[in-house]
Amino acid sequence: MPCYLCKYIPPRADFLETMTDEEQELMRRHGDFLDRLLEEGLIVAHGPVMDPSGGYGVSLYRIADGELIETLTAQDPIVKTGCGRYEHYPMLHLKS
């Protein structure tokens, strides 16, 4: 099964500290989306990274052969609304 580290890149470096009410709602929906994928077994773990140069999110995916990681992350409410983007990094394996 292919594995990926997916990094959510927010729209600005201080995003986590300066979110508008609308962005906070999008982030709630984003969390719900990731939690659902976690329950389905597509995500192994996810959460925010508090980098001093600017926070971001990380998700570890384990997906079915033939499934495209870009297709999955494109369904995230934050991506659908243009509130940031993902970078995808293939992993050789993922032990859990």
Express each pLDDT in 31-80 by its tens digit: 999 999 999 999 999 999 988 888 899 999 999 998 999 999 999 999 99
Give start and end residues of each alpha helix (H) in the chain. Answer: 15-18, 21-40, 69-73, 77-80
Residue whose token pair is 């394996």: 93
Class of residue 51 by CB neighbours under 10 A (exposed 0-12, middle 13-18, buried 19+): exposed
pLDDT for 89 equals 98
Nearest to 9 by CA among 88, 80, 89, 84: 84
pLDDT for 53 equals 87
Q: Which residues 6+ apart lie within 8 Å of 20 measured at CB?
A: none
Confidence grade of residue 4 (pLDDT, cut at 50, 70, 90): very high
Residue whose token pair is 């997916």: 6
Considering the domain 3-91 in this protein, what is its CATH number? 3.30.70.1060
Where are the domains positioned within the chain? 3-91
